[in-house]
Copies of this chain bind each other. A is one copy, B any other.
Amino acid sequence: MTVVMNAQDLQAFMREVFQQMADDFAVDHVDEEGVTMRLLTAERHLRPGGTVSGPAMFGLADVTAYLVTLSRIGPKALAVTTNCSIDFMRKPVAGVDLVAKGRLLKLGKQLSVSDVLIYSEGSDKVVARASLTYAIPPSGV
């Protein structure tokens, strides 16, 4: 599928529409394969013990699936997550960012389906895996 928003476009979109999101996440890379995102890990994302919390990982998976969808269809602020299944498999490494790789498995008129793998930066072991469905608003919205 053709990429219609690159990393800079997606970053600018986040900053404009979801300011809070733009403080938490950075777009590392966009290509035909998908999107690579980064959680800019801060104190508010941590559990006691210093590892990233489940809700922060969910947020990373969610934004990655959202932006991989937008990278193919262009800016749609109103797309909403309808379903997510997530497996937490390993404790993240403390003190490093989390990196998420998302790819689009289906892009229909009404729905997109993506999957996301999350890693601790510098490791090739999967920390979490998620699949997400997004409802795409009708054209013109």
Contacts and interface: CB of A to CB of B under 8 A. Distances in A.
10 contacts: A54-B59, A58-B58, A80-B91, A82-B133, A83-B85, A84-B86, A87-B131, A110-B110, A113-B129, A133-B133
A58 to B, nearest CB: 4
Q: Give this chain's copy count.
A: 4
Given A62-B54, A83-B133, A105 B88 contact: no
Interface string A74-90: 00010011111111111
Interface of A: 17-18, 20, 44, 47-48, 54-56, 58-59, 62, 77, 80-91, 105-106, 110-111, 113, 115, 117, 126, 129, 131, 133
